[in-house]
Amino acid sequence: MAEPIYTLKNVSYAYPGSISALHQINLEIAQGDRVAIIGANGTGKSTLLALLDALIFADTGTMHAWGKELTERGMNDALVQKDFRTKVGYVFQNPDIQLFCPTVKEDILFGPLQLGVPKEESIRRFEAVVEQMRIQHLVERSPYQLSIGEKKKVAIASVLIIEPDVLLLDEPTAGLDPQTTRDIIGVLYQAHKSGKTVVMASHDLHIVEEIADIVYVFGEQKTIIRSGKPEEILTDFAFLQSHNLIHTHVHRHLHTSHVHSH
Interface ranges with other proteins (CB under 8 A): 50, 53, 55, 78, 81-82, 85-86, 89-90, 92, 94, 96-103, 106, 109-111, 113-116, 119, 122-123, 140, 142-145, 158-159, 162
Could you tell me the smallest distance in angstroms from the CB atom of residue 56 to other proteins? Answer: 9
Provide Rg for the chain, Cα atoms: 19
* Alpha-carbon dihedral angle through residues 108, 165, 22, 202, given to the nearest 10 degrees: 70
Distance CA(64)–CA(71), nearest Å, equals: 9
Give 39 or 111: the residue with its C-beta nearer to other proteins: 111
Could you tell me the smallest distance in angstroms from the CB atom of residue 101 to other proteins? Answer: 7
Could you tell me the smallest distance in angstroms from the CB atom of residue 92 to other proteins? Answer: 6
Give 91 or 211: the residue with its C-beta nearer to other proteins: 91
Could you tell me the smallest distance in angstroms from the CB atom of residue 159 to other proteins? Answer: 7
Give 12 or 103: the residue with its C-beta nearer to other proteins: 103
Ranges of H-type helices in 10-70: 45-52
Strand order across the 166-170 sheet: 88-91, 166-170, 197-201, 34-39, 214-218, 224-228
Could you tell me the smallest distance in angstroms from the CB atom of residue 28 to other proteins? Answer: 22
Give 95 or 230: the residue with its C-beta nearer to other proteins: 95
Give 1 or 78: the residue with its C-beta nearer to other proteins: 78
Tell me the residue length of the chain: 262
- Give the three-state DSSP class for 177: coil
- Cβ–Cβ contacts within 10 Å for residue 142, how many? 14
Could you tell me the smallest distance in angstroms from the CB atom of residue 148 to other proteins? Answer: 12
Q: Which one, of 156, 5, 182, lies nearest residue 91 by Cα?
A: 156
CA neighbours closer than 13 Å in the CB half-sphere of residue 217: 20
Could you tell me the smallest distance in angstroms from the CB atom of residue 105 to other proteins? Answer: 8
Give 160 or 176: the residue with its C-beta nearer to other proteins: 160
Give 115 or 246: the residue with its C-beta nearer to other proteins: 115
13, 58 Cβ separation under 8 angstroms: yes
Distance CA(93)–CA(106), nearest Å, equals: 20
